[in-house]
């Protein structure tokens, strides 16, 4: 899809009071990415030449997010909340400097697909000067209505509060998304008035003004889910559910097996190759890549991790940022890995914490092993060589190196480097006192009898 001449204006000035949050509404996340981030990513996928983000006063966090997601995004400020028409005109300088199509999107509407924007642009290419995205909700109450003639041409958009009883019977509703191929667009927008029930400058009035100028107007329809606007926490949860369902279906269509799809939670940047199997109750945070053939068992939590080909992870495993697992690695139940590279075929199958370091190919980490990586001030590394065997219940105090093929005896606290092929043990001498247990029980029974 290509709209190389498009300027996309993203309206992000809403305060979002119904969210009841100190965080600006558009920075609340769906699938680990802000809603504004989703909309700006849509602009990137549409090959937008320019992006202008309209914010309200004192919205530095929103400005920073826009700059981080879309390099070179222009920021405009809507000083007073006087309607969508006024909001678009806040980006006047960007619009006037641009020659080409202008598309208006909303930062609290994160689910629009690139293919839908492509259909809007196609409508402009077919001769429309103004194209509006419409939908048919189950309940149209509160939505602006798209009024069309017998041929389907768009005549006007009527806000719900200004609509007549007959107009409220129309089920084709306005999403707010609108695209223009109008030279000197701001001159048209400047003619929008505020003679309506709210006293606001409605962008929707641009349709009737355009028609009065002899310009062509048209409608493109999409599903209701795609244009869900998020104004409350309940709608944020609804948007999350829709996004997750889309992503699960896309992965399964690409060759990923999900035993119980509705229990798998994905992030906006999750990458899963074909022939991966995912059991129930698995959470993918941002920055996770899973290579082909891996098996993810139930109840795992991942973020910022790479899982190699044919690896086997879980159940109940946690991979934190910096975990890089090569092919055929096994990480089992109640094992946590953070900032550790595990070589091909290495294993940590039970009850271990591996933090900051590396594990060589074919090395085996026994149950209860801990990388003691933090002294209260600094993080240090544990390096385990290829083929090393770490016995159960061992504590490796970093910084430390365990040589290739070395053995660490179970229950050891290792504080010094261990050479290749060596055995390292650290245990106190075992002491046995015959008959002690029976004497102890007798003594305790007497004390209990006296109390």
Q: Catalytic residues, which ones? A: 350
Q: List all residues 6 or more positions away from 281 whose beta carbon is below 8 Å from its beta carbon.
A: 260, 263, 264, 298, 299, 300
Residue with tokens 């939505």: 143
Residues 177/146, Cβ–Cβ less than 8 Å? no
Pairwise CA distance, residues 161 & 196, whole Å: 8
Query: Which two tokens mark 276?
Result: 């991966």
CB 396 within 8 A of CB 372: yes
What is the DSSP-derived secondary structure letter of residue 249? H
What ranges make up the beta strands (E) of 181-327? 217-221, 257-258, 264-265, 271-272, 277-278, 282-284, 289-290, 295-296, 301-302, 306-307, 312-313, 318-319, 324-325
Measured CA to CA in angstroms, residue 310 lies from 292, 326, 332 at distances of 7, 9, 14
Alpha-carbon span 394 to 428, nearest angstrom: 14
Contact yes or no for 447/430 (Cβ under 8 A): no
Contact 348, 369 (CB under 8 A): yes
Q: How many CB atoms lie within 10 A of CB 351?
A: 18
Token pair 């369902």 is at which residue? 245
How far is the C-alpha of 192 from the C-alpha of 188, rounded, in Å? Answer: 8
Long-range contacts of 231-235 (CB under 8 A, 24+ apart): 231/16, 231/18, 231/19, 231/25, 231/108, 232/18, 232/19, 233/19, 233/20
Q: Are 384 and 360 in contact (CB under 8 A)?
A: yes
Could you give the C-alpha distances from 66 to 51, 62, 72, 75, 236, in angstroms and in order?
9, 6, 9, 8, 20
Q: What number of other Cβ atoms are within 10 A of residue 38's Cβ? A: 22
Q: What angle do CA 32, 34, 35 make, to 5 degrees?
A: 120
**Cα 68 from Cα 357, distance rounded (Å):** 31
Tell me the residue length of the chain: 451
């Amino acid at each position: 899809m290509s709209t190389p001449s498009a300027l996309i204006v993203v309206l992000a000035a809403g305060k979002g009071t119904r969210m009841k949050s100190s965080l600006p509404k558009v920075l609340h996340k769906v699938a680990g990415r802000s809603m504004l981030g989703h909309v700006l990513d849509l602009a990137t996928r549409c090959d937008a030449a320019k992006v202008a983000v309209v914010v309200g006063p004192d919205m530095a966090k929103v400005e920073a997010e826009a700059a981080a997601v879309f390099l070179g995004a222009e920021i405009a400020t809507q000083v007073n909340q006087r309607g969508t028409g006024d909001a678009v005109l806040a980006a006047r300088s960007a619009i006037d400097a641009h020659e080409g199509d202008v598309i208006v999107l909303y930062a609290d509407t994160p689910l629009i697909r690139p293919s839908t924007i492509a259909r809007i642009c196609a409508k402009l290419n077919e001769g429309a000067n103004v194209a509006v995205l419409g939908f048919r909700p189950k309940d149209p109450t509160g939505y602006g209505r798209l009024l069309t003639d017998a041929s389907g041409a768009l005549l006007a958009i009527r806000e719900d509060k200004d609509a007549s009883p007959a107009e409220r019977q129309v089920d084709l509703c306005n999403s707010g998304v609108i695209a223009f191929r109008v030279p000197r667009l701001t001159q048209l927008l400047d003619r929008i008035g505020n003679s309506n029930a709210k006293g606001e400058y409605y962008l929707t009035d641009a349709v009737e003004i355009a028609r009065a100028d002899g310009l062509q107007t048209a409608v493109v329809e999409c599903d209701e889910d795609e244009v869900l606007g998020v104004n409350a926490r309940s709608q944020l949860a609804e948007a999350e559910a829709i996004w997750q369902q889309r992503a699960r279906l896309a992965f399964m269509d690409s060759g990923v097996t999900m035993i119980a799809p509705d229990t798998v939670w994905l992030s906006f940047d999750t990458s899963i190759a074909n022939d991966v199997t995912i059991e129930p109750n698995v959470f993918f945070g941002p920055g996770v890549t899973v290579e082909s053939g891996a098996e993810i068992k139930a109840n795992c939590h991942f973020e910022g991790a790479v899982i190699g080909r044919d690896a086997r992870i879980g159940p109940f495993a946690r991979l934190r940022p910096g975990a890089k697992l090569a092919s055929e690695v096994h990480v089992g139940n109640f094992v946590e890995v953070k900032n550790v590279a595990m070589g091909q075929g290495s294993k940590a199958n039970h009850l271990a914490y591996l933090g900051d370091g590396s594990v060589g190919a074919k090395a085996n980490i026994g149950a209860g092993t801990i990388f003691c990586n933090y002294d209260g001030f600094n993080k240090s590394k544990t390096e385990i060589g290829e083929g090393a065997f770490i016995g159960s219940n061992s504590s490796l105090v970093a910084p430390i190196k365990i040589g290739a093929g070395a053995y660490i005896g179970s229950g050891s606290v290792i504080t010094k480097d261990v050479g290749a092929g060596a055995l390292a043990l650290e245990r106190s001498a075992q002491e046995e006192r015959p008959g002690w247990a029976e004497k102890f029980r007798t003594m305790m029974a007497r004390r209990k009898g006296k109390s």
